[in-house]
Amino acid sequence: MQRLVVAPLSHREKSPAMRATSLALPLLLAAACSGDGGGPRPITQSREVDVTPGRDKVGATSADRFGSMSGGGHAGATAKATPELVWDNPPGWTELPPNSMRTANLKPAGHPDAECYLSLLPGGAGGLVDNVNRWRKQMSLPPIDAEAVKALPKQKLLGLDAVRVDLTGAFAGMAEGPGKADFQLIGLLTTFGDQSIFVKMTGPAAVITAEAANFDRFVASLELLQPADAAARRGSGANASPTASGGPEGGAPAGGAAAGAGTASAPAPGADGRVSATNQGIRFTGPIGWTADAPRATRVVTLRPPGTKQTECVVSVLGGDGGGLSGNVDRWRGQLGLGPLAAAEFAALPRVTLAGRDGVQLDLLGALDDAMTARKLPQARLLGAIALLEGKSLFVKLTGPEAEVDEAVKNGFLELCASLAE
Amino acid sequence: MGLLKKLYALLSSYGLAALLLVFLLLLTWLGTLEQVEFGLYETQKKYFESLFLIHEAGPFAVRLPFSDPAKGPLMTIPAFPVPLPGVYLLLSLLVVNLVLGGMVRLRKDRSRAGILITHFGILFMLAAGFVEFRWSHEGVLQVFPQERSRDYYSYHEWDITVRDADATGRVREHVIPSEEWRELAPGATHRFTHDALPFDVLVTKTFRNCRVVPQGPMFKGDGAVIDGYVVLDSKPEMEQEFNVPGAYLTIAEKTTGRQTDAIVWGRQMQPLTVDAGGKRWLIDLGKRRHELPFDIQLDKFIVEFHPGTSMARTYWSNITKFDGGQQTAMKITMNEPLRHQGYTLFQTNWGPQDGNLDQPLYSVFTVVENPSDQWPKWSCYVIAVGLLLHFSLRLKKYVASTRRPAPAPAAPKS
């Protein structure tokens, strides 16, 4: 005769209702005890602490405080400089502006349908097997199991063993439906600390096959260096992207308020009330009264017009054509919810001289939603200027609430543009 | 019988004592099981430091032995909540029960002197537990050779601190302890103020364990994006000391009313800088710092390994204690802690443990400030004396009864 056995199941099998019930009491108690009731609470505790000069960085930026790897360090840890990712652009490849998902963003062989980028994602980002299968799905290929993933070849990436995939198929990307036939994807995946690292090159199979050696060259050139070493390598021709930044316009303060806005090493106005300096090979002189934020690795300078709270003006430089004039005009228009320009409209844009070169000028209105810097303004005005210099691109971008960006600010913007020189 | 008498009879009864002991046994069992899944810290809070709790029982699978597991259970009983008293409440009642039943109500005569002393010893032990629970601190002190320190950091508690950014030397910092902001209900705000500060600190959202990352389009953060960064809430770790809290703050200037949003995080590498009132201020979130009333200097750390392995056989620290004008050379080993001025320093770890012994090794001490540190030992002595006395008296009584002449057998009936 068989007996009944009552066995406990694992806690993971517990119902959400049970969880809700068990959480209800503490939440109710917390709700009852919290809120603003009773007004401000006095800070009653204090203590003395020994502070040596230079122990903490006053005016640290968010990148200084959090980095981008979001690992390492602990409370009270000695400050460490954020390492920078550096690499060499393979011959014939052009560099696009990085964004928050693409720390390195390249266009192999300048082909319009080819792209190659490096991404850093927090955590496991879904795991190795799922990511390999995500890429296979993008190439319209069936998934493979963990054993098959384990058997994939390995390649060194930043000194780590990364899994290499080389797929040919119909590339659908993240879109649904039939993909572009006869495409190829070469990718590397690995983890570093609590980050996942991806390098992915896609494009027509003929282009990607031809560029495979350049892909390997690009991967082999990748290094994480301390800023001083990165600067030295950059001086020898390498490209660099601080891992903490989101790109040439990355990491801008959300407002004019002081939190996180560095002041310790910000360029100070001269006796004439103008901020003037040379950075990244670009000399600038700000209009009278305009103040500068602390330098950021991907910006020549960030300036703020007097009397404004949320307006900022960023001058930045990128290697190569930076994605091209029309591409960047359309990108900025997109940030304001505006569509791309037709060729005739682009040709009709007003011109401006930047560092002695002819460039385009923009004056746009709309709701700003810049995913790169997470900057959002409901009624914004964008003043922009872009010019292609010798081997690099120069960007000047002023954004702020429409009410703040008046003619005086625009005159200052044009004055700043006129001051730029190599 | 009056209500008070009934209450007195109930609180001093054997029945209540037995019931409390059964519940204590049950909670010890449930807490031990729960610890496997939720870790020591959470389980202690829920089962042993609470007045009441809700235990999640089940779910249970009802099966037939030797049945095919692939066919699944006969039926599944879903999880259900079981309200229980917490150990804190049970021990409080046990104290009342012991005082009333084991001391007040107990007949006071020579034969029960041992029981009375034993009950006093148990109460003394319970008092030691209460004092430790309420007033003890525990933390970690890490020191390198020839380094002198008196600071130790809490394992579990975090503080938001505010101080003048430009002051150096001995600086006073204002402290907002985690007890005042960590249990923030969704949508609620706690506003903290101090006369010496030109701004108020509003805590608008808190995270028990989180990461701060640059905002990207492929994931959604768990709060507002500030300066391109956002907080990602993380599942709490089983071991509380691995949790890294974070909070969204709003800095509200008192004179201008200007408000600035910011993020503070337990692993931030630099404090937040705030310009307000014509000065610069630093706001940090860090583990709670305590200070010893004396200094410790590590003279040498020594570790010995089992032959041919990297497993430590023993390790100890030669230290110098600086207290006032006095210097005392001492040795702290795993089983020989330093006890001084109510503090106990245990040798608990060392580092770096990456096998490179060419680097200077630092020593790690667990520091415990516990006013009742030695009370459990003394209470054990009291209990031992009480039991010894009680059993001695019982033995004496038994021996006396065996020496008493046996009653004469009754004369046979004729």
Q: Which residue of A has its CA nearest to B218?
A: A101
Residues B80-113: tens digit of each pLDDT: 999 999 999 999 999 999 999 999 999 888 889 9
Looking at residues A370-384, what average pLDDT do you find? 82
Predicted pLDDT of residue A310: 87
pLDDT at B131: 95
- Interchain pair A7, B63: CB under 8 A: yes
Q: A375 vs A404, B224, B226, CA distance in Å? A: 16, 11, 9
Q: Are residues A233 and A306 in the same domain?
A: no
How far apart are alpha carbons B153 and B366 in whole angstroms? 9
Q: Which amino acid is at A232?
A: A
How confident is the model over A112-120, as a mean pLDDT? 86
- Asked, for residue A415, whether it belongs to a domain, the answer is yes
Minimal Cβ distance to A258: which of B64, B270, B274 = B274
- The answer to whether residue A78 scores a pLDDT higher than 80 is no
Tokens linked to B162: 């505010």
Residue type at B340? H
The Cα–Cα gap between B63 and A346 comes to 74
Examine the pLDDT at B116 and tell me if it is beyond 60.
Answer: yes
Among A27, A75, A121, the residue with its CB nearest the CB of B287 is: A75
Q: A27 vs B173: CB contact, 8 Å cut-off?
A: no
Angle A242-A244-A249 from CA coordinates, rounded to 5°: 80
Q: What is the pLDDT of residue A240?
A: 53
Q: Using DSSP, state whether A382 is helix, strand or coil.
A: strand
Name the minimum distance, in Å, from the CA of A78 to any CA of chain B. 7
Burial B219-257 (b: 16+ CB within 10 A, else e): eebebbbbbbbbbbebebebebeebbbbbbbbbbbeeee
Residue-wise pLDDT for B302-345, tens only, equals 988 887 776 788 899 999 999 988 999 999 998 899 999 989 99
Q: Can you tell me which residue has the tokens 């993240």? A: A174
Q: Which helix (H) or strand (E) holds A327?
A: helix A325-335
Please tell me the predicted confidence (pLDDT) of residue A11.
Answer: 44
Q: How far is it, in rounded angstroms, from Cα A200 to Cα A189?
A: 9
Q: What mean pLDDT comes out for the span B385-410?
A: 88
The complex scores an ipTM of 0.75
Q: Which residues in chain A touch residue B272, judged by CB atoms under 8 angstroms apart?
A: 60, 65, 259-260
Tell me what pLDDT residue A12 has: 40
Q: Which of A66, A78, A117 to mutate to test the interface with B (most CBs of B within 10 A)?
A: A66
* A312-360 pLDDT, tens digit each: 999 988 766 666 777 788 888 888 888 877 777 777 888 888 988 888 8
| Number of C-beta neighbours around residue B143 at 10 A | 22
Q: Give residue B388's identity as a one-letter amino acid code.
A: L
The Cα angle at residue B195 between residues B191 and B197, in degrees rounded to 5: 75
Other residues' Cβ atoms within 10 Å of the Cβ of residue B140: 16
Check whether A70 has a pLDDT greater than 70: no
Q: Do A73 and B59 touch (CB under 8 A)?
A: no
Contact present, A304 and A312 (Cβ < 8 Å): yes
Residue where a domain terminates, one of A219, A242, A265: A242
Interface mutation vs chain B, best among A19, A22, A41, most B CBs within 10 Å: A41
Q: Return the pLDDT at A74.
A: 29
Whether A97 has a pLDDT exceeding 50, the answer reads yes
Q: Looking at the 3D structure of chain A, how many domains does it have?
A: 2
Question: Is residue A10 very low, low, confident or very high in pLDDT (cuts 50, 70, 90)?
Answer: very low
pLDDT computed for residue A268 by the predictor: 75
What span, in angstroms and rounded, lies between the C-alpha atoms of A260 and A266? 13
Q: How far is CA B301 from the centre of its chain?
A: 28
Q: Are residues A305 and A196 in the same domain?
A: no
A257-270 b/e (C-beta count within 10 Å ≥ 16 → b): bbbbbbbeebbebe
Query: In this prediction, what percent of chain B has a pLDDT beyond 70?
Result: 95
The distance of B238 to chain A (nearest Cα, Å) reads: 14
State whether residue A9 is helix, strand or coil. coil
Q: Do B67 and A2 touch (CB under 8 A)?
A: yes
Contact A259 B273 (CB under 8 A): yes
Q: What angle do CA A381, A385, A387 make, to 5 degrees?
A: 160
For residue A373, what are the contacts with CB-CB under 8 A and spacing of at least 6? A246, A249, A250, A251, A252, B228
Query: What would the two tokens of residue B340 be?
Result: 């001084």
In order of B15, B101, B116, B173, B291, the CA distances from B105 in angstroms are 14, 5, 11, 53, 46
Same domain for A292 and A219? no
CA distance A319 to A96: 8
Put simply, the answer to whether B175 touches A260 (Cβ < 8 Å) is: no
* Nearest CA among B105, B59, B108, B63 for reference residue B82: B59
Tell me what the mean pLDDT of segment B1-23 comes to.
Answer: 93
Nearest CB to A14 within list B59, B168, B276 = B59
In chain B, where the domains are located: 3-135+379-400, 137-150+291-369, 158-289
Q: What is the domain-level CATH number for residue A384?
A: 3.40.1000.10
Query: If you measure CA to CA, which chain B residue comes closest to A119?
Result: B216
CB contact under 8 A, B214 and A64: no
B372 against A389, higher pLDDT:
B372
Interchain proximity B56–A67, CB inside 8 Å: no
A258 found inside a domain? no
Instruction: Give the tokens for residue A77.
Output: 């840890």
Does residue A269 form part of some domain?
no
Say how many CB pairs under 8 Å bridge A and B.
265
Residue at a domain's end among A216, A242, A268: A242
Residue A69: pLDDT over 50 = no
Is residue A135 within 8 Å of residue A166, measured between CB atoms?
no
**List of long-range contacts for A351-354, beta carbons under 8 Å, 24+ apart:** A352/A385, A352/A387, A352/A414, A352/A417, A353/A387, A353/A417, A353/A418, A354/A385, A354/A386, A354/A387, A354/A389, A354/A394, A354/A396, A354/A417, A354/A420
Q: How far is B324 from chain A (nearest CA, A)?
A: 18
Contacts of A51 in chain B (CB under 8 A): 163, 167-171
Residues from chain A that touch B262, judged by Cβ atoms under 8 A, are 259-260
Q: Residue A172: inside a domain, yes or no?
A: yes
CA B324 to chain centre: 31
Helices B3-11 & B87-99 angle (0-180, nearest 10) = 110
- Taking the C-alpha atoms of residue A256 and residue A245, their distance in angstroms, rounded to an integer, is 19
Range from A121-130, A315-324, B401-410 carrying the lowest mean pLDDT: A121-130
Same domain for A309 and A391?
yes
Residues in A closer than 8 angstroms to B67, CB to CB, are 2
pLDDT digits (tens, 9 = 90+) for B203-218: 999 999 998 887 755 5
Q: Which of B175, B219, B270, B282 to mutate to probe the A interface, most A CBs <10 Å?
A: B270
- Bridge-based pairing state of the strands A180-192 and A5-8: unpaired
Neighbours of A221 (CB within 10 A): 15
pLDDT of residue A256: 31
Q: Give percent of chain A above pLDDT 70.
A: 68
- Among A43, A102, A196, A331, the strongest candidate for a mutation testing the B interface, having the largest count of B CBs within 10 A, is A43
The identity of residue B125, as a single letter, is M
Q: Is the pLDDT of residue A27 over 50?
A: no
Whole domain around residue A324: which residue ranges?
A: 276-419
Question: Of residues A86 and A10, which shows the higher confidence score?
Answer: A86
SS3 A79: coil
- With tokens 């103020």, the residue in question is B193
User: Do A235 and A95 belong to one domain?
Assistant: yes
**Cβ atoms A90, A108 nearer than 8 A:** yes
Residues A233 and A366 in one domain: no
Nearest 10 degrees: CA dihedral of B87, B92, B95, B101?
Answer: -100
> In the predicted model, what is the mean pLDDT of residues A223-232?
66
- Average pLDDT over chain B reads 89
Contacts of A80 in chain B (CB under 8 A): 269
Contacts of B78 in chain A (CB under 8 A): 15, 17-18
Give the count of beta carbons closer than 10 Å to the beta carbon of residue B294: 16
Closest approach of A141 to chain B, Cα-based (Å): 23
- Asked, for residue A39, whether it belongs to a domain, the answer is no
Distance from CA of B228 to the nearest CA of A (A): 5
Domain boundary among A242, A265, A300: A242
Average pLDDT over residues A209-234: 78
* Range B61-70 burial, b when 16+ CB lie within 10 A, else e: bebeeeeeee
H or E stretch at A394: strand A392-401
Rg over CA atoms, chain B: 30
Per-residue pLDDT at B414: 58
Residues of A in contact with B200 (CB under 8 A): 40
Residues 6+ positions from B282 with CB-CB distance below 8 Å: A56, A58, B162, B163, B164, B165, B271, B272, B273, B274
| Predicted local confidence at residue B261, as pLDDT | 94
Task: Write the CATH number for A136.
Answer: 3.40.1000
- The reply to whether A399 falls in a domain is yes
A193's tokens: 């600390």
Which residue bears the tokens 């002393």? B117
**A106 vs B25: which has the higher pLDDT:** B25
CB contact under 8 A, A66 and B286: no
Residues A221, A325 within the same domain:
no
- pLDDT score, position B198: 95
**B160 pLDDT more than 70:** yes
Looking at the fold, whether A219 and A353 belong to one and the same domain comes out as no
Beta-carbon contacts of A209 under 8 Å, excluding residues fewer than 6 positions away, are: A184
Q: Do A258 and B275 touch (CB under 8 A)?
A: yes
Residue A71: inside a domain, yes or no?
no
Indicate whether A115 and A237 sit together in one domain: yes
Quote the mean pLDDT of chain A.
74
Give pLDDT tens digits for A239-263. Answer: 655 443 333 443 333 223 333 333 3
- The token pair at A371 is 């995913």
Task: Tell me the C-alpha distance between B214 and A314, whole Å.
Answer: 19
Report the pLDDT averaged over residues A124-143.
Answer: 80
Instruction: Examine residue A23 and state whether it is found in any structural domain, yes or no.
Output: no
Q: B276 to chain A, minimum CA–CA distance in Å?
A: 8
Chain A nearest C-alpha distance from B103 (Å): 37
